[in-house]
Structure 1
């Protein structure tokens, strides 16, 4: 046998061995091949719908979480921060036009009464003025009531009233803010944005911060940035409101021939397939098949019906969306296709990669066998 013929025979045997090893699934790899994914489609009696992404599919699947406040929160007008409420604390300075007054005492012209708390029924007690209803009044109105009550016992009293918001006019702010705590609703902090500013603002990137407000049986959640895009969601606050600021908890999983295989948290409200790939280092240039970028998800019934043009589907459906980055519009489709929470982005290995793996496995195995044989002959 000539040298050329012998070389050709060896190559032929090697090809057969590579094909056999690959067919047996003995080679290490990160996941299924492009052909194996297509083979598992419903169209081929599998359990998932495999759909190539185009403009119609992109439009049908572009669903972003709908956040907002219910009308009960949006339609509440600004509260009057001057109205006294149960739980508030009130301080008084009472000036008397006599040298020996009822409250000021000998040699003093004024009496200080500090932080009298409004009881749960809305009343306070002032010496010589009696038990007075404070809740529902402004400090000015309360001043008039106390003046009239004291005027009968000390001539022309002059009264200064100072209100400090108590537990009846406070909100609780928790979560990823500069300072968690209980804050009073005062004139500068009557709206959601101003209260968050008083609490030190958010401590996570604004793009992924969500704000939840709970008021009695009503609650709603918005994106933090919407406070500055849509004035209608900068709602007026009420005593007892609870405000929770959280980081967006959505994520997707990247697998296969990408720069990294990991769980990736969302870094913006909307992320496209091309951005998802870029966030994990892009496609591995030595491994990836750019025609085999897949997005796997369980699609709700309504969206699955719209994507497939069928009205006989019941319940959530397993969907595999295919992106071919080498197609004329492939990069545009990947740019427009929206990734959603819990998606899996999987990139298959190029066929040549499997071939190289097979060659490496076989040559390594043959080399090891020759080494063992040589050792045994010695």
Structure 2
């Protein structure tokens, strides 16, 4: 009887000792499940805590899309011979008289090379005067010059050639293999063709974003979409600035995962399962698969849909709960899209906290004798 009483006393002492150690605050990777749930609006907190299901996935997994506005997409391609300010033209003029206006004696033609279109879009031709060239084709300019000269020399013949110039150009910078200023020519009138002329992108295509700045407007698109969606391959305009950069979105992984770090997106879309895999998966010795959380600030439109309310104003704090042990838990996590600035947090399993308590008390998870000694000492006191 005395032995039984002693054993019961030791058991009580062990429980008391464990409780005391646990209450002192053990090391932890972050809050546990109960501490997170205590921040719910249902517990007078300021966060909405939602278990992820098909309905939540349909609302929350919408990711911002990149694309060009209609003003970019509906712009027609520049004519291959359209003249712009800054272009250089070559003129050849034939006259049917021995003593012509422009043709030297003994020759039948005169050549005017490198006639540059000025900033206002005009060129000057002797005896024809100042002629509007920008916005016209070489054929239209030819007709204008012929009409102007026909009043002074019989039946003049005129040829107009558009030479390489710096009029219709675009600037390309960023993560391309050959940054520079490029002329818009017949083969390079669209965005994809112009990027190809610059040597293509110098980063992985999956994470390349292309931004086009046109005046005071701009638009961005994924590089891959230029080929997957032909309608996104917009026509270029003189003065366009094209910038290619690596996707700068990221999420943070904390808690009982293989590693804790800020992680850059490596594709256009990342699911919760992929996010966990990128940081080494769940820790097999610490993680609680029923406690995978995603912390996010949601705009009021999405927050109202998620909560079935219409009175929420402004950005709302939302915590999504993923239970990987549920029958469809992994599927839910696979369909849940991670967004920029999300925090993925995995709680520790209760057993790991118990192990920490034992370790803190005994110095080793295997030192059962030390625990027994500690309880005997406690009883003796």
TM superposition shift of 1:85: 2.0
TM superposition shift of 1:217: 3.2
Q: 1:125 to 1:328 in 2, by over 3 A?
A: same
TM superposition shift of 1:271: 0.9
Deviations 1:311-331 (A, max 9, x none): 232222211111111111111
Report what 1:20 is aligned to. Answer: 20
Deviations 1:239-285 (A, max 9, x none): 12222222222110000111110001111111110010001111111
Report what 1:266 is aligned to. Answer: 265
TM-score computed with the length of structure 2 as normaliser: 0.84
TM superposition shift of 1:111: 5.7
Alpha carbons 1:100, 1:108 under 8 Å: kept: no
Report what 1:185 is aligned to. Answer: 184
Report what 2:116 is aligned to. Answer: 117
TM superposition shift of 1:364: 2.6
Instruction: Give the 3-state SS of the residue equivalent to 2:123 in structure 1.
Output: strand
Report what 1:276 is aligned to. Answer: 275
Deviations 1:40-86 (A, max 9, x none): 22212222222111111111101111322222211111221212222
Report what 2:206 is aligned to. Answer: 207
Deviations 1:8-52 (A, max 9, x none): 755543332222222231x11110112211222221222222211
Question: In the alignment, does 2:302 pair up with 1:303?
Answer: yes
Alpha carbons 1:290, 1:324 under 8 Å: kept: yes
Aligned residues: 367
Question: In the alignment, does 2:32 pair up with 1:33?
Answer: yes
CA distance in 2 between counterparts of 1:318 and 1:171 reads 43
TM superposition shift of 1:109: 7.6
CA distance in 2 between counterparts of 1:137 and 1:311 reads 56
Aligned CA-pair RMSD? 3.2
CA distance in 1 between counterparts of 2:197 and 2:291 reads 50
Unaligned runs of 5+ in 1: 371-378
Instruction: Give the 3-state SS of the residue equivalent to 1:49 in structure 2.
Output: strand
Q: 1:149 to 1:18 in 2, by over 3 A?
A: same
Q: 1:145 to 1:309 in 2, by over 3 A?
A: closer
Report what 1:58 is aligned to. Answer: 57
Question: In the alignment, does 2:380 pair up with 1:349?
Answer: no
TM superposition shift of 1:151: 7.6
TM-score computed with the length of structure 1 as normaliser: 0.85
Runs of 4 or more above 6 Å deviation: 1-8, 95-110, 148-158
Report what 1:252 is aligned to. Answer: 251
CA distance in 2 between counterparts of 1:123 and 1:32 reads 72
CA distance in 2 between counterparts of 1:112 and 1:5 reads 119
Alpha carbons 2:21, 2:360 under 8 Å: kept: no
Unaligned runs of 5+ in 2: 374-381
Q: 1:131 to 1:39 in 2, by over 3 A?
A: closer
Report what 2:313 is aligned to. Answer: 314
Report what 1:135 is aligned to. Answer: 134
Report what 1:326 is aligned to. Answer: 325
Query: Which moved further from structure 2: 345-354 or 161-170?
Result: 161-170
CA distance in 2 between counterparts of 1:129 and 1:316 reads 66
Deviations 1:94-125 (A, max 9, x none): 67899999878689887654322111232223
Query: Which moved further from structure 2: 4-13 or 34-43?
Result: 4-13
Instruction: Give the 3-state SS of the residue equivalent to 1:66 in structure 2.
Output: coil
Instruction: Give the 3-state SS of the residue equivalent to 1:302 in structure 2.
Output: helix
CA distance in 2 between counterparts of 1:41 and 1:132 reads 74
Deviations 1:134-177 (A, max 9, x none): 33332234345556667888898776543235443112222222
CA distance in 1 between counterparts of 2:13 and 2:99 reads 120
Query: Which moved further from structure 2: 251-260 or 137-146?
Result: 137-146
